[in-house]
């Protein structure tokens, strides 16, 4: 049986018009992402990694080519459908956490549920459950400024899961965290992806991410350099130890 693809990127290019010069950031990317995979997009800064990532998240539109999420071409969606997609299908996790500073942890988690039309009581109940799952029980009434970086990112993970999305997009989720906290967040994401079958796509240059990824896409100079499955990665690390 052919596995279901949640994201399909075909022939995507993206140019940025900087007035006098046009910069080609993506030069034709084809990519298929299977449901339930934990995928990392790796690449040096300036490789077009973030641009590709934003395309997949429906935050930016390609110059040419198409991006399909759940077999729907996102270029065809109007503002309402796009908002719906962002609200229900995709959960975003940011490098800078991006919690709403005026709201408590619980309110941050329940906000997307309110957008989705959940009643307040249901949202609060589910929000508490999610906060418990990410290990923040008893912290629900704290403001983001009263939480540590790792805790804030946990709230962000809970928020991303609020409407049981099919995809979680994490943009350098460990970029602003120290080693151990970063590892905690990676493990949390991995666990959630395994338990719930959520597709996790993360842009990163954190090599810790490789250990948990099912698939790693290497981007170089606006093109897909190589796509490695987990098994390939194991062989590679094995090869390295042999050389030593």
Partner 1 sequence: MKRLIALPFRKSVEIAFLSIRVRFFRSLVTTMSLVLAVAFLCFMRSSNDFAQGFLATGSVEAYQAIVQAGYDVSLETMTIAASAKQRWIVTLSLLVCIVGIINAQLMSVTERFREIGTMKCLGALDRFIVRLFILEASMQGLAGSLCGAIIGTMAAAASALLSFGTGALSTDALQPLAVSIAISVVTGTSLSLLGVIYPAIIAARMQPVEAMRVEQ
d(CA 116, CA 87) in angstroms, rounded, equals 7
Measured from the CB atom, the residue of 135 and 175 that comes closer to partner 1 is: 175
Point out which span in 84-92, 180-188, 205-213, 220-228 binds partner 1 (CB under 8 A). Answer: 84-92
d(CA 196, CA 131) in angstroms, rounded, equals 16
Question: Using CA atoms in the order 116, 120, 124, 126, what is the torsion angle rounded to 10 degrees?
Answer: -40
**Buried residues in 177-202 as b, exposed as e (16+ CB within 10 A):** beeebbbbbbebbbebbeeeebbbbb
Judged by CB under 8 A, does residue 15 bind partner 1?
A: no
Judged by CB under 8 A, does residue 54 bind partner 1?
A: yes
Taking the mean position of all CA atoms in its chain, how far away is CA 123? 23
Q: Among 3, 4, 75, 114, which residue interacts with partner 1 (rule: CB under 8 A)?
A: 114
Q: Among 28, 65, 70, 115, which residue interacts with partner 1 (rule: CB under 8 A)?
A: 115
Judged by CB under 8 A, does residue 79 bind partner 1?
A: yes
Q: Segment 138-177, which members bind partner 1 (CB under 8 A)?
A: 159, 171, 175
Q: Are strands 167-171 and 90-93 parallel, antiparallel or unpaired?
A: parallel
Q: Which residues of this protein are in contact with partner 1, per CB under 8 A?
A: 50, 54, 57, 59-60, 79-81, 83-84, 86-88, 92, 94-96, 98-103, 111-112, 114-117, 120, 159, 171, 175
């Amino acid at each position: 049986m052919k596995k279901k693809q949640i994201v399909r990127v075909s022939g995507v290019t993206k140019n940025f018009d900087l007035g006098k010069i046009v910069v080609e950031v993506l030069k034709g990317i084809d990519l298929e992402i299977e449901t339930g995979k934990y995928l990392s997009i790796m690449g040096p800064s300036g490789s077009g990694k973030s641009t590709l990532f934003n395309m997949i998240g429906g935050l930016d539109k390609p110059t040419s080519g198409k991006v399909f999420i759940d077999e729907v071409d996102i270029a065809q969606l109007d503002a309402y459908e796009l908002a719906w997609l962002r609200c229900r299908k995709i959960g975003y996790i940011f490098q800078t956490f991006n919690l709403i500073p005026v709201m408590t942890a619980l309110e941050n988690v329940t906000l997307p549920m309110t957008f989705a039309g959940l009643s307040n009581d249901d949202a609060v109940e589910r929000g508490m459950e999610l906060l418990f799952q990410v290990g923040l029980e008893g912290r629900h009434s704290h403001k983001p400024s009263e939480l540590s970086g790792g805790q804030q990112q946990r709230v962000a993970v809970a928020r991303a899961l609020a409407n049981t999305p099919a995809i979680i997009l994490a943009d350098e989720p460990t970029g602003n965290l120290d080693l151990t906290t970063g590892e905690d967040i990676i493990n949390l994401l991995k666990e959630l992806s395994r338990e719930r079958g959520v597709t996790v796509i993360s842009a990163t240059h954190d090599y810790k991410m490789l250990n948990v990824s099912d698939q790693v896409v290497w981007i170089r100079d606006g093109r897909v350099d190589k796509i490695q499955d987990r098994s390939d990665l194991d062989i590679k690390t094995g090869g390295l130890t042999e050389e030593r």
